[in-house]
Amino acid sequence: MIDITNKSILITGGTGSLGKALTKRILAECPDLRRLIIFSRDEQKQYQMAQEYPVNEYPQLRFFIGDVRDKERLIRAFRGVDYIIHAAAMKHVPIAEYNPDECIKTNVIGAQNVINACLETNVQKVVALSTDKACAPINLYGATKLTSDKLFIAANNIKGDNPIIFSVVRYGNVMGSNGSVIPFFLKKRGEGKLPITDPNMTRFNISLDGGVDMVLHALDNAWGGEIFVPKIPSYKITDVASAIGPNCEQVVVGIRPGEKVHEEMITPSDSFYTYDLGKYYTILPATHKWNIEEFKHKFNAKLVPRGFAYNSGENTEWETIDTLKKLIREHVDSTFEN
């Protein structure tokens, strides 16, 4: 893990699932951290989170109410901060489709505000969270996150002599996160029926711990402009339903607006710039200021074959009903029984 002794970290959207997992890991493993700032606009979630981390036990933890739509508030919050993890976003696909202007204000304008605030303060590194829906997007949420990705990548080209580094991490569904399918099915199974959008639907799956690992890897290893992509398994939506409610009827309700049957994280067009790093792939920026040969040597990076693609339907690694049951007990609900 990156050495953050006497450093300050700020997490936008820090009261979300990943923000809380990052907080738990950072506080546990980095007791000499100078400050960890939770920046979000939900005062109730901040209040609840503060109860878990009393100030007498965690004096380095701060809570800062603010919205990424407000650049001036970001500048104030970023003063004295070394590292930014940008997790704030509007994430619900149907809600974004119905409220497109609100989604754009948070996911696009908010991203640019974060970039500008970083450039106007002394932030050293920024890791922005993306989503598989940003790859060849068909919904507004994905389109705004693709735009956000492009903004953070391009920020490395407009920083002048500022040594700041911007990078992006892109991953699939986080197991057990707010609004994800597993908690939804766990609540619905008592009704005896589980709604299936499409029986062929697949998704990538990553645990909260896996997401935290990836963010910290990017924070430690980014050179500027990379999109890091994890090698993670896929699951079939019908297998998730069978794992959670084996006796439930699976009712096909149809795909919601803006949904794909299979999610993508790397397209064939990305293959020209995509390198295999072992545990992760990384999509390099078409324009960068560092030496590609030095990069390949340092990380033993190998260019993927031309035309390579990475999507949840053609993945080579899959969760089974049995492994899903185990993962639910480990990462979502320790009391889970089916």
133 is catalytic: yes
- Is the model's pLDDT at 176 over the cut of 90? no
pLDDT band at residue 338, thresholds of 50, 70 and 90?
Answer: low
**CATH of the domain spanning 8-172+205-232+264-311:** 3.40.50.720
**What are the CA-CA distances from residue 47 to residues 20, 27, 41, 43 (Å)?**
13, 18, 11, 6
330 versus 74: which is more confidently predicted?
A: 74
CA distance 236 to 319: 8
The whole-model pTM stands at: 0.94
Residue 274 is encoded by which pair of tokens? 């995509």
Q: Give the pLDDT score at 291.
A: 94
The predicted structure's pLDDT at residue 160: 86
Find the range with the poorest average confidence among 4-8, 113-117, 124-128, 318-322: 4-8
Give Cα separations from 273 to 224, 227, 245, 286, 322 (angstroms): 14, 10, 42, 7, 36
Percent of the chain with pLDDT over 70: 99
Strands, E, within 216-331: which ranges?
227-230, 234-236, 249-252, 264-266, 274-276, 280-283, 302-303, 310-311
Candidate from 79-88, 177-186, 236-245 with smallest mean pLDDT: 177-186
pLDDT of 337 > 90? The answer is no
Catalytic residue from among 20, 133, 145, 260: 133
